[in-house]
Chain A
Amino acid sequence: MPELPVRKVGIISCSGEEMPEGTISRLATRRVLETLQPERTVTICLPLFLAGGEGERAFARHYPTIAIDGCEKRCAARGTEMYSAMPAASIVVSELSSRSSDELGTARRLSDQGRELMQATAVATSEIVDRLLGTRAPIQIKTSDSSASPAKTVVSCSCGAGIPVKQLTIAGRETEVAALPVIYQSWQSACRMPHQGISAEMLKIVKVYNPIPEDDEDAWKQAIALDYARFCSEKE
């Protein structure tokens, strides 16, 4: 496997503006990204799988993901599976509490109970992050939303969270190939030079991040071989 950006957990949240549980999903996601697991989590918003390019669609193929959904429709979990890959874990906010939706406030303004559930959702998500990454980072849980002002944290978010892509012309078509820049770097670092040809092994790795139609495999190989040769000559 190429050494793609540092292993992190991707968190994909329901955007549900129709219900308080949707807001809880969203705010819990931010709580994890900003406070509980900064450095170890990134996010991407669900509709970017559709509106974005291959880089966005490859997101869940690279990052193990946790889907946080507001309700049993499970848009985030199902959408991630449909357009990227099966989430490693899934949380449904409405299943974490026996409180009715009304008690949680509105989508626009959460009640105290809603904020409590948001905190519980964030903590549950953070515990899954620990499980997925296998190590426990020190976490500081804030019990109140509005108390001390938290340190400014840069959150890895939506638009920048996709896998790096490269544009190639394959079989006459402009094609975005996800992960190619880092695959090249990894290959070159291992002294695997282009005159050795593009092996089945390299194509297999490219396939992890890109759907390649069987009939087009030769064209992909050819285009990547040429491009990799160019990449190596530029680095010399």
Chain B
Amino acid sequence: MKPKALIIPCSGIGKTLGSVARESAFRVTEDLRPETSRLMPLSLLVLGEEDTRKLLASTPVVAIDGCTKSCAAKVAAERGGAVSRALQVSDAFKRHRGLKPDGVAQLNEGGLQLAQALAEEVANLVDQMDGEVNNA
């Protein structure tokens, strides 16, 4: 079944905020909205394969970036994706100051809770989407 939204997280491997982005994406697509969202790895977009491009062009994207370089949002848009919402973990942290993330391979409790808070925000966004790309 075609998902209502593609969730594209930052693929950074060196920083905590990238890990929070990835963990949020896992929580949305596996725990909170497994039926209506799908995780799309950023590296697949780099190659631009036909199947990936078709799915990207026809499904709204929620990009979750770790830092202001905004690789997820930029690459998705560059590859023809309709980025419906571009979120930053750093903004989520500002909204949840008490959840201080740490760790990369293994997030601390603050990082996991921040990922959960962000995942719930993304899940709400997914609920508001109808799976169609508005080309108007």
**Interface residues in A96-141 (C-beta closer than 8 Å to B):** 107-108
B81 within 8 A of A: no
A159 within 8 A of B: yes
Interchain CB contact under 8 A, A108 and B26 = yes
B13 CB contacts on chain A under 8 angstroms? 13, 15, 26, 29-30, 43, 45, 157-158
Interchain CB contact under 8 A, B39 and A17 = yes
Among A15, A155, A156, A157, contact of B42 (Cβ-Cβ < 8 Å):
A15
Given known A15-B43, A73-B44, contact A51–B14 (CB-CB < 8 A): no
C-alpha spacing A73/B41, complex, angstroms: 13
A48 within 8 A of B: yes
Chain A interface residues (CB < 8 Å from chain B): 13-18, 22, 26-27, 29-30, 33, 43, 45-52, 73, 75-76, 78-79, 82-83, 107-108, 155-159
Interchain CB contact under 8 A, B14 and A17 = no
A155 CB contacts on chain B under 8 angstroms? 14, 104
A75 CB contacts on chain B under 8 angstroms? 41, 43-44, 46-47
Interchain CB contact under 8 A, B11 and A47 = yes
B117 within 8 A of A: no
Interchain CB contact under 8 A, A158 and B14 = yes
Among A52, A79, A107, A157, contact of B14 (Cβ-Cβ < 8 Å):
A157
Residue of A with least CB distance to B44: A75
Given known A17-B39, A29-B13, contact A51–B69 (CB-CB < 8 A): yes
Interchain CB contact under 8 A, A52 and B26 = no
Shortest C-beta distance, B75 to chain A (Å), equals 5
C-alpha spacing A177/B48, complex, angstroms: 27
6 further A-B pairs in the complex, CB-CB below 8 A; given A15-B13, A82-B46: A14-B43, A17-B22, A29-B13, A51-B78, A108-B26, A158-B14
Interchain CB contact under 8 A, B78 and A50 = yes
Interchain CB contact under 8 A, A107 and B26 = yes
C-alpha spacing A75/B79, complex, angstroms: 15
A13 CB contacts on chain B under 8 angstroms? 13
Residue of A with least CB distance to B19: A26
Interchain CB contact under 8 A, A17 and B46 = no
A46 CB contacts on chain B under 8 angstroms? 11, 42-43, 46
C-alpha spacing A103/B15, complex, angstroms: 28
Residue of A with least CB distance to B39: A17
B9 within 8 A of A: yes
Interchain CB contact under 8 A, B67 and A159 = yes
Among B11, B49, B74, contact of A15 (Cβ-Cβ < 8 Å):
B11
**Interface residues in B1-38 (C-beta closer than 8 Å to A):** 9, 11-15, 18, 22, 25-26, 30
Shortest C-beta distance, A149 to chain B (Å), equals 11
Per-position 1/0 for B111-128, Cβ under 8 A of A? 000000000000000000
